[in-house]
Each structure stands twice: as structure tokens, then as C-alpha cells.
A and B are shown apart, each in its own frame.
Chain A
């Protein structure tokens, strides 16, 4: 590939010059470093873009509820990251990808049109009965109330009678008499950084809102609803009026405990209580919270729930998984905390409570920890709560019997199943003994760990298992003949309906998925390209399963149980429990339609084959395509241009080993050498570049036994005479063996000319597997074309056995590997070191395929034997 733009200028400037000025040297060094950094930034943006896309996919399945705010935020994040990638690629290769930005713009415009079609939550009814709400109504009623309605509707759970004053109701209130404008004015005028002013502001705003008149239609709606409640419940009804904020899901922030609940409210006081709860939005704690986290005032509409207060016999909270021990081998017990009366002590932690631990499967009471309780709380008109002393014989008794504990546990489990994750419930038993659900929200901390818990499945625990572990990258189970694909060419032999087994979940394999029953990869994540396509096609996928290639090759018919994270022999699909597809909580909601409209231009991957003619900016239909394109091309540019850039050889230090000068020079890009270097040589001990050390180990582990060496020994080949002008790094000589390491602590590039072939190794190996890459380019030789080609092909075969992806074109070879962990990459780097040293002039001996095969076998033996490199990808 010909260098363009900046690089061409550099070549013109520096390429032919016999010597560079120190300034030019420094400029070159800087360019190399900058290029490395830009590449790392691009890879990081790639990973984040894919994470957001897979999160959007999850949202599309409706396994959790979300609002319009989430859609806007996800689109914004993904657009920023993809833009950063486009820019990164453009700076790696100026002028070469000019078509990409217009394409990105066009896709972005389509997303924008879809997002602008956002439903306006401020429209719609001002009040809604709780029983009519569903999870998808969170933009109207806040997630707290929406969840309550959802469980009543979907599970038949008993919830308190009541209604929500919606976001539309709130908007109506705040626009009446320009209430919001006045609030904004007062906030603007105050100096909220001073605590005394903040208190004064808070108090003035709360007083202002608590006394503001309601618009007549809203007031009438609330009175009408409250009267209806009163009529249904009879004499003595008391209400609880509580906030239900919007925005918690979108902002990832929790407002728990920041707002206000009015208890013991008489029905005809509901309007005033509503005002008080809205006013609590401007409480000092809540305002400070928004200010320090930078959450705009208008992003938090206050929805309010007005519901009957249950005169509880006993009440409390339930965690569908013990938050302290989400997965302790028991599959996660349930934890229930309870008190006699209303749950005040449980919620605010102000007094001792009874604790019940419940086994999940089979459901059974495992442990009771009864506390000594002194009071119970009961509803009280005006004051909210009455504190009533408990009789001594009641104080030490558990407040729930086993039947009631199990009833609560069943409700918690049902809620967990319905909302596809652990839940935190508030509940009460009313005087008639009915279990009433008061609140339900996701238990966030536990969710992630629970997902990593050992697979459930009591019904089929005794099925034989071939392999177990990994992550379910695409759900379901599928059976077929196991087919281990090690190199690209294996794709042609893939049997339709087979189970594809690969080392790495590379996008390349996506072309086979439409014909596969399931896919297994030793490495890869649920957020990668291949996982995305597998989910789109509905092909079960199990990734991150070590030993899959060796364990499944030749295993015949197997079943991949992605949900159970295991592979079973034979066709076991009948024996597996039918997976209940998690219900889509957002089905039919305008917010889901909004996300679908936007995601259509973001999530699908249509650009699969980098060698296809439509693998071009014009072929990008979605942001995922742009991401894929940028990733592929940036790797290509990184590798190809690395070789094209001239080297800043002037600053090079000569490598010395045990006091002997080597024929290698080291260019430090920043942090590749430890300590100060005196003079012109750098001892090996001072090299602080892990990739260089790995490569060097491979180059020096075995003495070279190739044709042109005599008995003088191996080190004498590496060591050169200082008097030989060909070895002077500054001198341009066609025959010079000029070998340069360019290093940083996590980077190494070696350009070398061994005999008559030219090779480049580049490695970036850091703490993040996803950013790791290795590349190897090899070309040339002195023998005839046939022999040279045979050598390139032989090396490609060898490297493929070690897990590299290779391309050969005549006598040129290009091999690469990416995304593996540090140890694995360093082993492969050592193997490359061995290969570049031991293939020199081997082309001479490549008379036929048999000889090539023998060489390959010998190289592989040395690599596995002397270097301790495990074969296989």
C-alpha cells in the first residue's frame, strides 16, 4: 500500500536522506508514538460502542423497563464513540477514508429522525389508577408505581388501591401560572454554593410550591380519584402519598430516600399532600444531589402515587436474593426482614427486625432470627404513624409464621422471574391476612453476581456433560455435529446444521451462522460482533469456554446448552427444560417503538466479509457496520503504515548482551528503557518492554542450524563487528543487516532484514485483552519464485497452527492475532521470534513440498519443545 498524505511527505523528507537531523529524528519518534496512542484510543472507542449496542439489544428484548431518556442517552453515547472511531481512522490514514464521514452523517440523520419522534410524556391523562399501569408506563408514572401496576396486572398480586398523578399532571401543575419559570428564576438568583443560601432557597421553593394553586382540571381529577377510593374502602380510609421519580433508569442514579412520603393523609387532604410531595423535589438533600451529580432540574419530573395505607398486621421487605450472599452455592437464598405493624423500622433501620432466610429450590424456610421488638407502628390520621408498645409475650416472637414467610418468598420469586432479575420488595399482611405488595424495584448489586452463579437446572443435573463454563452469548440450546474450525479455509467444509467450534469469536465466522445449529468459542464476549449476529439469527452461542476445540473436535453429535453454559453429548435438546422466553415488559409501548426506530440504524451488522467488494464506506448501513469497518481498516493501516514510516534511527542505542554488542538497535518511544543509558549501548537488563523481551527470548532460545552458518556458533551471528561499516545504523547499505527494535513498555516493533528477506513484527500487549494485537509481515528471499512462495506458505501453515490468521500472496505473508490475554500473546511473540531467526535463507532448501513439510515439523518441535509454547489457537 502506498503511503499518502503526511507519510508521503515524510518519506520525501526523510526517506532518501542519508542522515536525519536530531529534530527530524524527534519528529519521527513522536509520530510513531502518536500513531500508537491513536490506535489505542480507537480500539477503546470500538469496545465502548459495542457495549452500548449490546445494551440496546438487551433493552430491545424488553427484559427491563426503560424510558425515552434511555433511548436518547444510548444513541448519543454510541454516536460519540463511533464518531471518535471515524476520526481515529482518518488520522491514521489521512485522505484515504474520506467517504466514511458522509456515510456516518447519513446514518446519524436517520437515527435523529427516529429519536425526534419521541413520545411526549407530558401528554396523556393527568391521573391514572395504579391497577391500569404497566412497566412500560415508567415515563408517565415513574418506575416505582409502574412496577407495582405491572405485577398486579401480570401476576395478580394484591396492591393497595390508589392512583398515580402522572408526569403529564406534574407538567400541568408546573406550567400553571408559570410556576416552573418562577422556580428557575429563584434558583438562578441564589448562590447555591453557600449552604445557608441553599437552605434558604430550598425552604422558599418548597413553601412556594406547597402553597401554589393547582390548575382546576388537575385538582378536580385528584379529588375525584380520592373520593372514589374513599367510597371503595369505606369509613376511616387513610392514604399514603409518595413520590415516584422518573429518570432513575436513564441516569443510572438512585434517588432512594431523597424524596418524601406523606402518611396518614385523609382523602380530602390529598391535594395538599400532593403539593407537599412535589415540593419535596426541592428538599436540600435532593437538590444537592442533583447539583453535585449535574442532573438538570427538568430531567426529573415528579410523579406521585396516592394509595390506601394498609393497616398492617406485619410487614417488611424481601430480597429475592440475599444481597450479602447472592450466590453461596445454594443458588442464592431469599432474605425477608419483618416487623409487626407497618414497616418503618425495616425501611429506616431504626430498630431490631426479624430475619428469615429461605432456600430457593425447593422453597423452604432455612433459618429464623427473631429479634426483640418493642413497638409496632399503625396508621394514624394527621400524625401519620402511631407507635404502639408490644405486649411482652409478643416482643420476642417471630412476627411471621412459616406459611406467611413462604407466601412472601413466592411473591418475591415471581417478581424476580417476571422482571428478569433479583428484586427488592416491600410488602404487608393486612388485617384480613392478605399479602399486599407495596413496592418493587430491582436489586442492582446482586444482579451481576447472580448472573455468574452456577447454572440452575435441578431437573437434569445428572445429564453427562462434555464441557461446562463460559458465558451465554446468545440464548437457547442447539444440537448438531461438532465441527472444529481452525483456519479460514475450514469454513468451506462446514457441514450445514453443524455446531461451529472456534478458538476466537471473530466476525469472520458470522458468514457460517445462518447454517449453524450453535456456536462455541474458546474466547470472546457477549458484547462482540459474532455474539450480536448469533443473537440476531437466534443461534445459541456459548463463548469463553476454554478447551472447546480439543474437547469437541471429533465429538460427533453434541448439544450446546447456552443457557446452562455447558455442552452435552448427543442430542439432548429434548431433555432440557424448554426455555421460557423472558417476556418483553415494553411490548406495545411507544418507548419501545422509539428504540426500535433508532436501533434499526445502529445495532444490526450487515458488513460481514472484509474481502467482499461492498466492504466499503458506501456499504455501511448501520453504525455497527461503521464500527466494524473502522476496526478492520485501522488494524490494516496500523500494520501497513508502521512498515512504511521511516525509523528515527539516530536516537538508536545498540543492544548489548553480557557485554557483547548485538546487531540490533533499540529506539525507545518513551518508557521502554529503565533508567539512564550511558553511552551508545543499552544492556538487555535495562529493557523494560515486555513484548520485546518475549520476542528476544524466542529469537535466542535455540541456536540457528540453518544452511549458511558454520560452527562459529550462534551468538557470533547475532554479534557483529563494530568495524563493519555495513552495521553502522547511519549508513545506507543494501546489504546491511539493519535490525531495529522500537519499544515502549507495552509495545514492540522489530523491523529486520535477515539475509534477503524482510520482516516486521509488531506487538501491543497491555492489561486489556481486547486491545492486544500481534502482526507479522514477511517478504522476499533470494531463491527462485517457487521456493520463496513455498516458504511463505509453509510459515503461514505453521502460524495458523499457533492460532494466527494468515494471508499469503506469492512470497509475501501477512499474519495477525488480536484480543488474547498477555501470557498467550507473549508466547506467540516468542514463537514469531523463533520463526524470523530460523527461516532465514531457508527458501534455498524449499525444493518441494516434502522438504517444506519437514522444515515445518522441525520448527514446530522447537517452538513447543524449547520455548514451551502450547500449540493450537
Chain B
């Protein structure tokens, strides 16, 4: 990637979110985090993120609702759903709403990293920016 990938992690599990964030930073990504759907939406607005990694099951606003609003608010930003619950219906619904992919925890860091790269490339190509 010609410019660092910019990622926002939205997950209510503090340990998981912070550790994942650190590991992605170590791999050269620019990472922001948010502990709830609403905080994530506030941050995503105007943040020019390549990718949002979004937990599906959160207290308060749930992941799919956050996804719906993200698609309206920042339609260019790719969203990867990440969840501890294998639920086919939610997976397909999420992808139908425009999520780039649906991954299950625990996820191997490299698998997630490749997804983020693919999603970033797709976004930047669509926007005509150097991928």
C-alpha cells in the first residue's frame, strides 16, 4: 500500500480491541478504536477510514445497525464484521448491507490483515487513489 491503511476498530470488549489494535499498529496500520457503536459512528464521520472492523454483538446499538448507518454516512469505507457468534443469517444480512466480509473470532491476525488489505485496495481503486 502506498499510504498506510487507516482502520477503525469498534468493539465493546476492551482487552480484545486494544490487543488487536496494538498488533495491527505493529504491522504498520494507522488504527483508531471505539468502545461502542455510537462512539464508532462519531469517530467514523469525516475520519476517512479505509476499513472499519466492527463487532456484531454489542450492548446498546448493535453491529448491524451501526453498519446500516456507516453505509449511509461513509459509503466508501469498507466494513469487515467480526463476531464471536457464528450466525449465517446475520452474516448474509450483513454482507447484503454491504459489509466486505464476515469473520469469526478467534481470528488469526494474518487472516484479518489480508482482509483489511483486500478491502482497502477495493476502496482505493473505487476512489481512484493509489492502492
Contacts and interface: CB of A to CB of B under 8 A. Distances in A.
Interface in B83-103: 84-89, 91-92, 95-96, 101-102
A873 to B, nearest CB: 31
B6 interface: no
Interface stretch (A76-84, A269-277, A316-324): A76-84
Interface in A277-302: 288, 291-296, 299
A27 interface: yes
Given A34-B125, A80-B92, A83-B92, A294 B101 contact: no
Interface string A6-47: 000000000000000000001100100110011001001000
Q: Which of A38, A83, A115, A670 has the most CB of B within 10 A?
A: A83
Given A34-B126, A37-B122, A87-B95, A295 B104 contact: no
A73 B86 contact: yes
A474 to B, nearest CB: 28
A829 interface: no
Nearest to B122: A37
B106 A295 contact: yes
Nearest to A296: B84
Contacts of B28: none
B46 interface: no
Q: Which of B86, B92, B118 has the most CB of A within 10 A?
A: B86
Contact of A41 (B57, B89, B122, B131): B122
A669 to B, nearest CB: 10
Contacts of B95: 80, 83-84, 87
Given A26-B128, A30-B125, A293-B106, A193 B88 contact: no
Contact of A76 (B16, B19, B88, B96): B88
B91 A76 contact: yes
A108 B88 contact: yes
Contact of A670 (B89, B107, B130): B130
Contact of B105 (A37, A44, A76, A294): A294
How large, as a class, is the contact surface on chain B?
20 to 34
Nearest to A83: B95
Nearest to B59: A188
Contacts of A292: 15-16, 19
Contact of A80 (B91, B107, B121, B130): B91
Contacts of A191: 14
A414 interface: no
A530 B101 CA distance: 27
A112 B14 contact: no
Given A37-B121, A84-B95, A193-B14, A115 B106 contact: no
B92 A295 contact: no
B13 interface: yes
Nearest to A74: B86
A69 interface: yes
Contacts of B101: 80, 84
Majority secondary structure of chain A interface residues (helix, strand, loop or mixed): helix
A251 interface: yes
A813 B87 CA distance: 46
A111 interface: yes
Interface in A166-195: 188, 191-193
Contacts of B104: 73, 76-77
B31 to A, nearest CB: 16
How large, as a class, is the contact surface on chain A?
35 or more
B82 interface: yes
Given A41-B118, A76-B88, A253 B125 contact: no
B85 A296 contact: yes
Given A27-B128, A76-B104, A294 B92 contact: no
B79 to A, nearest CB: 13
Contact of B106 (A75, A83, A251, A670): A251
A294 B86 CA distance: 12
A252 B86 CA distance: 13
B106 A291 contact: no
Contacts of B121: 37
B76 interface: no
B16 A294 contact: yes
Contacts of B91: 76, 79-80, 83
A294 B128 CA distance: 35
A118 to B, nearest CB: 11
A72 B86 contact: yes
B84 A294 contact: yes
B106 A38 contact: no
Contacts of B59: 188
Given A75-B88, A76-B91, A112-B88, A294 B102 contact: no
Interface string A636-672: 0000000000000000000000000000000000100
B62 interface: no
B14 A294 contact: no
Interface in A731-764: none
Contacts of A294: 11, 13, 16, 82, 84, 105-107
B125 A291 contact: no
B84 to A, nearest CB: 4
B14 A76 contact: no
Contacts of B107: 294
Nearest to A111: B88
B11 to A, nearest CB: 8
A299 B15 contact: no
A44 to B, nearest CB: 8
Contacts of A37: 121-122, 125, 131
A4 to B, nearest CB: 20
A83 B95 CA distance: 8
A293 B16 CA distance: 6
A291 B92 contact: no
Given A30-B128, A34-B126, A294-B106, A299 B92 contact: no
A428 B18 CA distance: 44
Interface string B1-43: 0000000000101111011000000000000000000000000
A460 B92 CA distance: 52
A26 B92 CA distance: 34
A193 B22 CA distance: 14
B45 to A, nearest CB: 25
A72 B84 contact: no
Interface in A556-574: none
Contacts of A72: 86-88
Contacts of B105: 293-295
Given A192-B15, A292-B16, A33 B106 contact: no
Given A27-B128, A84-B101, A295 B18 contact: no
A188 B60 CA distance: 13
B14 to A, nearest CB: 4
A116 to B, nearest CB: 9
A364 to B, nearest CB: 41
12 contacts: A41-B122, A80-B101, A84-B95, A188-B59, A250-B86, A291-B14, A293-B105, A294-B82, A294-B107, A295-B84, A299-B84, A670-B130
Interface of B: 11, 13-16, 18-19, 57, 59, 82, 84-89, 91-92, 95-96, 101-102, 104-107, 118, 121-122, 125-126, 128, 130-131
Given A84-B101, A252-B106, A292-B16, 11 more contacts: A30-B125, A41-B118, A69-B86, A77-B104, A80-B102, A191-B14, A193-B14, A193-B18, A291-B13, A293-B105, A294-B106
